[in-house]
Structure 1
């Protein structure tokens, strides 16, 4: 006769196999399971441990137990070489603009743009914060918030950055309209048209848009799907070409989702310092790791290095607030002037509302909840892709954020696939958008921060049929 905990485990396993619980779902807490099943807490713990040992579920620190993917994930293999491709001007981003426009169309199932569904965002808390500042700070809200931006917000961001080891004064920070503007200001401060900029490959296509608009050449350096940019390939590239800046997303890169270790970050900084090349650090996903421990930043590890740190709340709080910032170090005065001549100032009310959310602790409480939700969303999407897409499909295993990078069978034309899918009401991001030279023809990026429903499942199945 089986012990009681095995009977409980078998019942839950049956629920998982029948899709009562699907990958990414959070299971009832131990005490609740014990109460509903009429067993002891020890029995409930043993049942969950049995399910974990058998691969049905996984335990997440301070979060509980979650259903694991049922089909083994075929991880994308590293395709690194010791060399980077020659620098290229970025062109042909028309498809990216089509995806951006599709993001505003409610008839389209949005899997292409890396924009979280409102269900993942603290919309009520944001509304309350906006109402508070509109009521209590009317004179400020009605005025320009000239560069460097709202002191209250800069102070709160400075405190948060110090928690990851980056000591940045409120006077060394400029508030921007999202991270895209921060990246643009950083590049304008350290480059001129025609200069070469090293980027990881694949790279966020928004960055490639900025390079294109500034007339800069992209030097694509291959990135490992787990370890990050190849430092050997970067070193070779720096010896060969006159690189003026390097732009990276060390924490939970888009689209691969890797997080560089501290040792790798130190090695990167030493390499760039050797060649006297500034690092533009994009940390827009830094708060969205699946671990409760926030990763370090290059800015924090090397406070005196030539690093222009760019951050934003667009992925972690609200895209609509359009709040970003840049801590540009020795380039601060130049960046502050460029911000003024570009847009005079960022919107005042969102700055004050963001400061309110940070000061009251609501932002940190929200992060503790949403990290687990994103991890579950990624797990569920990954499982669905492996179940419905053709044999030979491989996917990344991000450690944070909410996108996955999908390698489709050889010969797949992801640009044609994206065009056809868009006509059928589904947006996906084709691989060539993430390369200045049009690489990654058989790759796509999918955004997982979506409400899981029948419409989304049908969309994924439709994409699988098109492949």
Structure 2
């Protein structure tokens, strides 16, 4: 899809430069362009959003996209700055937001996990029941690297995607967050510089704070992804010891890197001798027929971390890292922290994966997420004030929204919370204040009367915030 939407964007840009479309002209609608080009609606949307991010066109609610005035030329757009933080202090704010989201009765747009209705609870329960009947109570502790059956099952899934990953280099962890934390800890010492994204998954910021590391935040664009020029700048100016990055369905933006960007990213890291911790928890939640290739498939030195929390059940808390030669070091670190991961859960998951249910479930899950995301995107674009930008990328289940600069989405967060609606304010995703006007929405919820009313209420609260400027 990435090359298709870029080709369409280049074609439309060429038409604008040639004067086919003049400033103020209304472009064909997304559906018209999809019908005439033979491309999917999401591919066309991605092309239009790329042109919008570059300043060629403007979104106008209720009237589609129009060609931007000449002063909106990309040549006049300032590049986001690299943000260096000697210290990160964000855990308290994140803790308060996550705790508030646990209150019953909330419409959980702020959740980081897919809606529970999407998980195969009955099949998982049967696997757990089968395992419980044959489990020996005297052997319930499975020390690192974890259950051999589960590690073999994961190695087979890697092999199915063309990657040679031995069960011996896989370490089972308590969710992907532990895998990511242990990987980062194995690569760094307090005071080291680490590259993260801006905005970043808040778990990366918490890990940096806990390990007393220094953060280099490289900008990520909602359409084009990681700013590789800024990354090159960071690697050239600072003694970076590790990178923690997401190449697919980046959290919170949802954007994925295309093949040329992935190749350049790995080349930059190789040139500077910097190891990569790949956060790939959304790998299975792609939209379309093209399976995304993890960075680990292109470089065996990448520490590839993932989990089942986004695809099977949040409460499983089972993840892993394919750590290569660092597997023994990560096992020792795990032994000093969590000791081990739940043996019954590991065995139950191995049983479930052996039944060949997982791929059928994933196929259904991806389709349902795409439908729900499309429904929420359309409703938000229709109801929110025109000054609010809604960024959507293919895959995953997040939308990233931007208020006009100078507004504080944390204020909107508190007002929404009072109305029993949660959202994830932009302050959660950066050590600085650069995303204070943004927020993330989880749109994996069923589209029903409650979610429809929540979108309408959120639109009213947003309009009130804008009117009070």
Q: TM-score range by the shorter chain?
A: 0.7 to 0.9
Task: State the partner residue of 1:126.
Answer: 124
Change (3 A) 1:72 1:86: farther
Higher RCO (CA < 8 A, seq sep 6+): 1
Change (3 A) 1:378 1:140: farther
Change (3 A) 1:80 1:319: farther
Query: Which of 312, 321, 340 is residue 316 of structure 2 equivalent to?
Result: 321
- String of CA shifts for 1:3-37, please: whole Å, max 9, x gaps: xxxxxxxxxxxxxxxxxxxxxxxxxxxxxxxxxxx
- Whole-Å Cα distance in 1 between the matches of residues 275 and 363 of structure 2? 33
The 3-state SS of whatever aligns with 1:289 is coil
Task: State the partner residue of 1:263.
Answer: 260
Correspondence 1:117 to 2:141: no
Query: Which of 315, 321, 342 is residue 347 of structure 1 equivalent to?
Result: 342
Task: State the partner residue of 1:203.
Answer: 200
Query: Which of 430, 435, 438 is residue 440 of structure 1 equivalent to?
Result: 435
Correspondence 1:167 to 2:164: yes
- Whole-Å Cα distance in 1 between the matches of residues 142 and 399 of structure 2? 37
- String of CA shifts for 1:103-160, please: whole Å, max 9, x gaps: 332221111121111111111111111111112x311795101110011111111111
- Whole-Å Cα distance in 1 between the matches of residues 186 and 64 of structure 2? 42
- Structure 1 unpaired stretches of 5+: 1-48, 62-69
Query: Which of 243, 246, 270 is residue 243 of structure 2 equivalent to?
Result: 246
Judge conservation of contact 1:82–1:232 (CA < 8 Å) in 2: no
- Whole-Å Cα distance in 2 between the matches of residues 72 and 367 of structure 1? 36
What's the offset of the Cα at 1:162? Answer: 2.2
Judge conservation of contact 1:228–1:259 (CA < 8 Å) in 2: yes
- String of CA shifts for 1:232-275, please: whole Å, max 9, x gaps: 11001111111111011111111111121222212111111111
- String of CA shifts for 1:443-465, please: whole Å, max 9, x gaps: 11000111222222222222222
What's the offset of the Cα at 1:286? Answer: 0.4
Q: Write the mapping of 1:138-177 to structure 2, written as runs, cut at 5 A.
A: 138-139=135-136, 143-177=140-174
- Whole-Å Cα distance in 1 between the matches of residues 65 and 427 of structure 2? 21
Change (3 A) 1:395 1:164: farther
- String of CA shifts for 1:396-421, please: whole Å, max 9, x gaps: 22221111111123332101111221
What's the offset of the Cα at 1:81? Answer: 2.4
Task: State the partner residue of 2:359.
Answer: 364
Query: Which of 81, 89, 112 is residue 87 of structure 2 equivalent to?
Result: 89
- How high is the TM-score relative to the length of structure 2? 0.81
Judge conservation of contact 1:185–1:339 (CA < 8 Å) in 2: yes
- Structure 2 unpaired stretches of 5+: 1-30, 44-60, 67-71, 463-469
Change (3 A) 1:72 1:103: farther
- Whole-Å Cα distance in 2 between the matches of residues 368 and 72 of structure 1? 35
Q: How many residues align?
A: 406
The 3-state SS of whatever aligns with 2:216 is strand
Correspondence 1:217 to 2:204: no
What's the offset of the Cα at 1:308? Answer: 1.1
Q: Write the mapping of 1:10-21 to structure 2, written as runs, cut at 5 A.
A: none
- Whole-Å Cα distance in 2 between the matches of residues 259 and 58 of structure 1? 17
Q: Write the mapping of 1:46-85 to structure 2, written as runs, cut at 5 A.
A: 53=35, 81=79, 83-85=81-83
Change (3 A) 1:317 1:245: same
What's the offset of the Cα at 1:83? Answer: 4.5
- Whole-Å Cα distance in 2 between the matches of residues 134 and 74 of structure 1? 57
Judge conservation of contact 2:391–2:400 (CA < 8 Å) in 1: yes
Change (3 A) 1:72 1:286: farther
Q: Write the mapping of 1:396-411 to structure 2, written as runs, cut at 5 A.
A: 396-411=391-406
Judge conservation of contact 2:42–2:394 (CA < 8 Å) in 1: no
Change (3 A) 1:460 1:417: same
- Whole-Å Cα distance in 2 between the matches of residues 143 and 332 of structure 1? 22
Query: Which of 184, 187, 191 is residue 190 of structure 1 equivalent to?
Result: 187
Judge conservation of contact 1:111–1:446 (CA < 8 Å) in 2: yes
The 3-state SS of whatever aligns with 1:257 is coil
Task: State the partner residue of 2:416.
Answer: 421
Task: State the partner residue of 1:383.
Answer: 378
- Whole-Å Cα distance in 2 between the matches of residues 225 and 51 of structure 1? 22
